[in-house]
Amino acid sequence: LKSARRIFALTPVSPRALCDDAIDAFRAQIVGPESKKHPEQRLELEVDVPDDLPLVSVDREAVVEALLNLLGDDAASLASSA
């Protein structure tokens, strides 16, 4: 088996921008054509990330992907418990 290594491109990014990107991608998933959600199901998401946090040096795509996975996992667990 080959081991795939991901190369991260670190750039300074605001934590708020990372959250906004992940939330935008999540919203696109739950309202997009591939969504399996029924129209009567609603999901409210409250975001509280201060705008004045210092920049973080991260791979933006990797962090947004990780946040998106967390949002998806939480939404799936909420749906299964309803």
Hey, what long-range contacts does 18-21 have (CB within 8 A, 24 or more apart)? 18/56, 18/58, 18/60, 18/63, 18/64, 18/67, 19/47, 19/49, 19/67, 21/60, 21/64
Is the confidence at residue 54, as pLDDT, over 90?
yes
pLDDT of residue 29: 81
pLDDT of residue 49: 93
0.85 exceeded by pTM: no
Query: Over pLDDT 70: what percentage of the chain?
Result: 70
Is the confidence at residue 44, as pLDDT, over 80?
no
Is the confidence at residue 42, as pLDDT, over 90?
no
- The mean of the pLDDT values for the chain is 81
